[in-house]
Structure 1
Amino acid sequence: TLRSNPCAFLFLASSFIDLISILIGLPTRILAGWHLDPTNTINWICKARVFIVFSTRTMGIWLIAFATIDRWLISSIDIHRRHMSNLKNVKREIFIIVVLSILFYIHMFPCYEANNVDAPLKCYEETEKCRLITDLTYVILSIIMPLLLMIVFGLLTISHVHHLHSRVAHTGSHLGTIAQSRHANLHSKKIDRHLLRMLTLQIFLLIVLCIPQAIEKFYITFKPFGSGSELEDVVKTFLYNIDILLAFMASAMPFYIYVLAGGSVFRKAFMNLVRLMQQKMAC
């Protein structure tokens, strides 16, 4: 079942953490449209917001990376690797990811300040050194490393699946028990297939939505505000705001991926949840 599936548990944890990122980070961006963003003027809110947003975003993307590794383990022909895919290991991985993500961005508390002028946002790093540290941390630890792991283990998983299908096709003609075994495990295989499809789509969208902000942050660090014309500064601010919205889209997309690409298994689970909520509200 989905409840006992390690990959589904990682998806659930990632979605919950992404929800925290959205609830903490997005309201201030909406308030900024009315010039009511408290992070622009209040230091502790500025520091707390960026720390929570960046650390939870890192947690979410690393959990998806570990979900890719879990798919690789479960698709392996090595029984010892398959046994490594279990809820106990997954919970241990989640704990490690949360702790490391917090440590990655703890430097933001002394680095970020409100009321910045020469920056795309008023709540931004104050010194060039801080900007470079944050940029390198975000690009390498939050984007490049997890995305590389996703791509590598995603390709290895596809290779395992093709190899497994060829073995089944080769032996299925003279082993009658295989048909019975496949029928008994049909539901489990269906879930695994949908999980792999969801994972592939999520990796692609993470690459498209997260890379622009990383590039723009580096560009602003090496060509800061005031080094060019006023028009260039306006364009940089506009592009950075677009990149922020793309990053929040990356945090918000899992629900739509699970429902639209997760097949009937996940749509049924979603409808069961809706019916349960309706029953609770009616009581």
Structure 2
Amino acid sequence: MASLAGTNFTIYLDYIQVQMNRYLSPTIFIFGVIGNTLNCIVLGQPTLRSNPCALLFLVSSFVDLISILVGLPTRILAGWNLDPTAAITWICRFRAFVVFTTRTIAAWLIMFATVDRWLLSSVDIHRRQLSSIKNIRTQILVTFVLSIAVYAHMLYCYEANLNDQPLQCYGKSEQCRFATDMIYALVTIVIPLIGMMTFGLMTIVNVRRAQRRAHPDLRATSDVNHHSRRVNNQLLRMLFVQVLFLIVLCVPQAIQKFYSTVRPFGAGSTDEDAVKTLLYNIELLLAFIASGMPFYIYTLFGETIFRKEFIHVIEKIRKKRMGMVRTIDRTHCRT
């Protein structure tokens, strides 16, 4: 009876996992692709991309879009037993490498955004001068190169057709799994999050210090300075909310990675492995939610800066479409 109950429990957990892949994954995919695409369009406007922090948001949204486009379709297909990464090794390796690399890039770019806000909020003019497009582009390039180098081993380590791991596309040896888990937990999650929290708190200290030092009569009153402060304050708010969501969504992944090194898959009972597999798949979806959420955060907390630019983009598209319709109508009338 105990064995039968355990079997039923495992089947039930497998059923939950399949339903998540079938119905939750497509929802995350649709909202993630739409959100990141709109982010790239809005943040790519000249009024925003000239801001160092906005440029980091732009590139982060672009790599998040790649992560979702490459990573989520196979999760959706897995719900129907059609996942090609489960059987074809080169697809397995390519998907794992792209997803892990883009997640790392996105996390570090958001961390650099908190560094940029800290530099800009400093009373030291030399620190404020370090917040520049040139420095941001250098950081982006270095982040891309190092992230690719850190996960290059996955092009060798990952293997398809594995039946004793949470996924059939997984690390083929204990050494590979340990290296990937530790790199992902530390480099992709823990270190960037610590950086985000540290520089975020330092930014808050700088802002409060500047408010105490500034006398109302001596504050800048020009429209240009007022607009610049408003843009920076709203970018800071958008950044802090995004960091908060990243902490909530990504910390469980880091805990799982550390736990898996202490008690790997296969070390316990069948029921325990079934629970681990379900939790692993939930954490995969949480990571994709983290990649798909920025647009909705920016829209809700960007107030005038992001929402105004978004509406402006929509209006430009509408006018361009109306112009095309008029041109077609005039051409039709002439013929």
**Same fold, TM exceeding 0.5?**
yes
CA distance in structure 1 between the partners assigned to 2:60 and 2:89 by the alignment: 29
Aligned with 2:77 (options 7, 28, 31): 31
Aligned with 1:267 (options 299, 307, 310): 307
SS of 2:116's partner is helix
Is the 8 Å Cα contact of residues 63 and 106 (structure 2) preserved in structure 1? yes
Is the 8 Å Cα contact of residues 125 and 131 (structure 1) preserved in structure 2? yes
Is the 8 Å Cα contact of residues 185 and 253 (structure 2) preserved in structure 1? no
Is the 8 Å Cα contact of residues 128 and 221 (structure 1) preserved in structure 2? no
Return closer, same or farther for 1:79/1:125 CA change in 2, 3 Å cut-off.
same
Aligned with 1:123 (options 169, 176, 192): 169
Q: Where do 1:1-283 residues align within 5 Å?
A: 1-168=47-214, 171-173=215-217, 175=218, 178=219, 180-181=221-222, 183-282=223-322, 283=324
Is the 8 Å Cα contact of residues 209 and 247 (structure 1) preserved in structure 2? yes
Deviation at 1:13, TM superposition (A): 0.7
Deviation at 1:281, TM superposition (A): 4.1
Of all paired residues, the percent bearing the same amino acid is 57
Is the 8 Å Cα contact of residues 73 and 81 (structure 1) preserved in structure 2? yes
1:58-79: CA deviations, max 9, x gaps? 0000000000000011111111
Deviation at 1:219, TM superposition (A): 2.5
1:241-271: CA deviations, max 9, x gaps? 1000000011001111111111111001111
Q: Which residue of 1 aligns with 2:43?
A: none
Deviation at 1:278, TM superposition (A): 3.1
Identify unmatched segments of 5+ residues in structure 2.
Answer: 1-46, 325-335
Is the 8 Å Cα contact of residues 118 and 224 (structure 1) preserved in structure 2? no
CA distance in structure 2 between the partners assigned to 1:250 and 1:57 by the alignment: 9
CA distance in structure 1 between the partners assigned to 2:75 and 2:59 by the alignment: 25
Identify unmatched segments of 5+ residues in structure 1.
Answer: none
Which amino acid counterpart does residue 299 of structure 2 have in structure 1? V
Deviation at 1:32, TM superposition (A): 0.6
Which amino acid counterpart does residue 73 of structure 1 have in structure 2? L
Output the aligned Cα RMSD: 1.4
Deviation at 1:233, TM superposition (A): 1.2
Looking at CA atoms only, which structure, 1 or 2, has the larger radius of gyration? 2
CA distance in structure 2 between the partners assigned to 1:27 and 1:280 by the alignment: 33
CA distance in structure 1 between the partners assigned to 2:207 and 2:238 by the alignment: 15
Which amino acid counterpart does residue 100 of structure 1 have in structure 2? L
Which amino acid counterpart does residue 269 of structure 1 have in structure 2? E
* Stretch of structure 1 that moved more, 213-222 or 154-163: 213-222
Deviation at 1:214, TM superposition (A): 2.2
Deviation at 1:221, TM superposition (A): 3.5
Deviation at 1:184, TM superposition (A): 4.0
Return closer, same or farther for 1:226/1:184 CA change in 2, 3 Å cut-off.
closer
Is the 8 Å Cα contact of residues 182 and 257 (structure 2) preserved in structure 1? no
Return closer, same or farther for 1:165/1:240 CA change in 2, 3 Å cut-off.
same
1:43-98: CA deviations, max 9, x gaps? 00000000000000000000000000000111111111111111111111100000
Q: Which residue of 1 aligns with 2:31?
A: none
CA distance in structure 2 between the partners assigned to 1:263 and 1:96 by the alignment: 32
CA distance in structure 2 between the partners assigned to 1:81 and 1:225 by the alignment: 48
